[in-house]
């Protein structure tokens, strides 16, 4: 056994103990996460090439996050749609969410295009693509028609097992809308199902809380691994350093500058306060490199810290892991395209760049929020634009490092859009955002209360178990169906 690996593991467990003690004495969760990020980077630098025993710990955390994603999306959307009260509200929020998500990606595309053209990224790179093996990209390169067909599920069990979010969302929306339509005529018939959905939501959110509590520990080991890897690749990175730096500049500019403008103008909230509140989600995204895996954390901070109602957070945030994705579907493919054009001295005109913008926007519909997505998107975009795929291979040494910033950009954009949608719907809780009151988290509301909220004036009478198909008969009050709220 490697002695230095054991030493690194022992030091890490000692740091875990420190994190636990600080948490017990009431140190803020965000402060713990920031501290873990800094300490983890130090561990990675000090124990370079000797952090092999830490990798399984980080992998376990990522697996737990990914395992909870599909159940969370299903119960969140089912509960969200029934809580919205009508299919009209669902259409409004769905259209608004989709347009804002695509809008943030369009801004990222144009921002990156302007930045890379102004800086002339790749102009002196003298790229040589001859002899570069691109066979590894053949399997992930798919025509858009095939990608679009894949949005619609054929085996929902398989989609759940593989965390294919778009088919899961489509199937869940089908069931949710059907439930809403049945409830318009016979609310008592869907009462047991709604009770089951809310019970599932309570359980899943409690499980999410358990996983999120592990975030500082996971951030520490994941950052240590990333720092160790980055130090080990520094010789390889020198030739690609400019691309790496511009990638981070573009990601951070979109994350903190563009989103600050959107928050101030469209959501009417303080950007600095917002970024402080969602930092746990940003740091988790940065270290796990998975937008989908970060979804449980994103949903929690939006509902408990930002003041977004759970039905909107449960609908728009999952949508943001598959639509828009400005880091992976906007910034990175545009950067590689301009890098290829300048590095190879290709002739590229205004019409070509306009096509590139459209391609990035179209491909961003259905992007998977998992590690490696940016490579798939870049391959698809470059192939469709007629640019050499060899560039994707040449930039792989820095792709994983830039992916940390790209994922943080994705998650931040989804959180910002969710907040904007809540504000435009008139449902953002300013008291929760300002810290004047605590949000009522889903597991704190009783199943009866959630069921009553979903059914409007159709209630379960006192003394009848939740799920019983009884209707409160109060002659002085009108009864409303789920669709009439």
DSSP class per residue in 18-66: HHHHHHHTT--HHHHHHHHHHHHHHHHHHTTT--TTTHHHHHHHHHHHH
pLDDT of 152: 81
- In angstroms, the CA 485 to CA 479 distance is 10
* Residue 15 domain flag: yes
Q: What is the pLDDT of residue 234?
A: 54
* Domain with 427 in it: 3-434
470-474, Cβ contacts within 8 angstroms, sequence gap of 24 or more: 470/188, 471/187, 471/188
C-alpha closest to that of 180 among 456, 473, 467: 456
Q: Examine residue 363 and state whether it is found in any structural domain, yes or no.
A: yes
Tally the residues of the chain: 485
What sign does the CA torsion over 467, 473, 474, 476 have? positive
Q: Tell me the per-residue pLDDT of 140-199, one tens digit each, with 9 for 90 and over.
A: 455 656 666 777 888 888 888 876 767 887 888 788 888 878 877 887 888 888 888 878
- Extract the residue ranges of the chain whose pLDDT is less than 70: 1, 30, 80-88, 124-148, 163, 165, 229-239, 366-372, 397, 440-485
pLDDT of residue 482: 37
443 falls within a domain: no
Per-residue confidence (pLDDT) for residue 378, from 0 to 100: 83
Output the CA–CA distances (angstroms, integers) from residue 100 to 53, 64, 332, 336, 415, in the order listed: 42, 30, 20, 25, 11
pTM above 0.85, yes or no: no
Residue 238 lies in a domain: yes
Q: Per the domain annotation, does 484 fall within a domain?
A: no
- Is residue 116 a part of any domain in this protein? yes
Q: What are the structure tokens assigned to 28, written together?
A: 């803020």
**Interatomic CA distance for residues 395 and 160, integer angstroms:** 32
Residue 162 lies in a domain: yes
Give me the CATH number covering residue 322. Answer: 1.10.3860.10
Instruction: For the beta carbon of residue 347, count every other beta carbon within 10 angstroms.
Output: 6
Number of domains in the chain: 1
Is 377 within the bounds of a domain? yes
The whole-angstrom separation of Cα 221 and Cα 453 is 42
- Tokens 């500082």 belong to which residue? 216
């Amino acid at each position: 056994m490697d002695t230095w690996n054991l030493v690194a593991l022992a030091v890490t467990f000692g740091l875990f103990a420190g994190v636990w003690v600080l948490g017990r004495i009431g140190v803020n969760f965000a402060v713990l996460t920031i501290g873990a990020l800094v300490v983890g980077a130090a561990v990675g630098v000090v124990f370079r090439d000797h952090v092999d025993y830490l990798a399984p710990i980080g992998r376990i955390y990522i697996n737990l996050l990914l395992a909870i994603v599909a159940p969370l999306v299903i119960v969140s959307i089912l509960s969200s749609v029934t809580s919205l009260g009508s299919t009209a509200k669902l259409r409004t929020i769905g259209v608004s969410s989709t347009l804002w998500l695509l809008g943030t990606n369009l801004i990222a595309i144009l921002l990156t295009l302007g930045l890379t053209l102004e800086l002339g990224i790749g102009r002196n790179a003298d790229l040589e693509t001859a002899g570069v093996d691109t066979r590894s990209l053949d399997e992930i390169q798919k025509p858009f028609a095939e990608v679009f067909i894949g949005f619609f599920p054929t085996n929902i069990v398989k989609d759940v097992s593989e965390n294919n979010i778009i088919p899961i969302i489509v199937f869940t929306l089908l069931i949710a809308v059907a439930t809403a339509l049945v409830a318009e005529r016979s609310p008592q018939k869907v009462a047991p199902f709604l009770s089951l959905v809310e019970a599932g939501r309570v359980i899943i959110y409690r499980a999410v809380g358990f996983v999120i509590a592990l975030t500082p520990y996971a951030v520490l080991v994941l950052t240590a691994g990333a720092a160790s890897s980055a130090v080990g690749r520094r010789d390889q990175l020198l030739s690609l350093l400019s691309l790496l730096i511009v990638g981070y500049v573009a990601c951070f500019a979109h994350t903190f500058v563009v989103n600050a403008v959107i928050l101030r103008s469209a959501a009417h909230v303080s950007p600095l306060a917002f970024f402080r509140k969602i930092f746990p989600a940003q740091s988790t995204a940065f270290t796990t490199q998975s937008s989908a895996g970060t979804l449980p954390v994103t949903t929690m901070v939006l509902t408990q810290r930002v003041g977004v109602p759970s039905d909107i957070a449960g609908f728009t945030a999952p949508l943001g892991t598959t639509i828009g994705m400005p880091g992976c579907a906007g910034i990175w493919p545009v950067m590689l395209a301009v890098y290829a054009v300048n590095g190879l001295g290709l002739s590229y005109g205004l019409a070509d760049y306009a096509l590139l913008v459209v391609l990035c926007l179209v491909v961003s519909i259905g992007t998977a929020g998992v590690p490696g997505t940016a490579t798939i998107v870049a391959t698809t975009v470059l192939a469709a634009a007629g640019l050499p795929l060899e560039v994707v291979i040449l930039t792989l040494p820095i792709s994983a490092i830039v992916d940390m910033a790209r994922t943080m950009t994705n998650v931040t954009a989804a959180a910002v859009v969710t907040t904007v949608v809540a504000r435009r719907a008139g449902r953002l809780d300013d008291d929760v955002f300002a810290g004047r009151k605590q949000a009522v988290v889903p597991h704190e509301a009783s199943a009866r209360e959630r069921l009553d909220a979903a059914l409007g004036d159709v209630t379960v009478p006192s003394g009848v178990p939740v799920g019983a198909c009884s209707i409160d008969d109060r002659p002085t009050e009108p009864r409303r169906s789920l669709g009439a709220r």
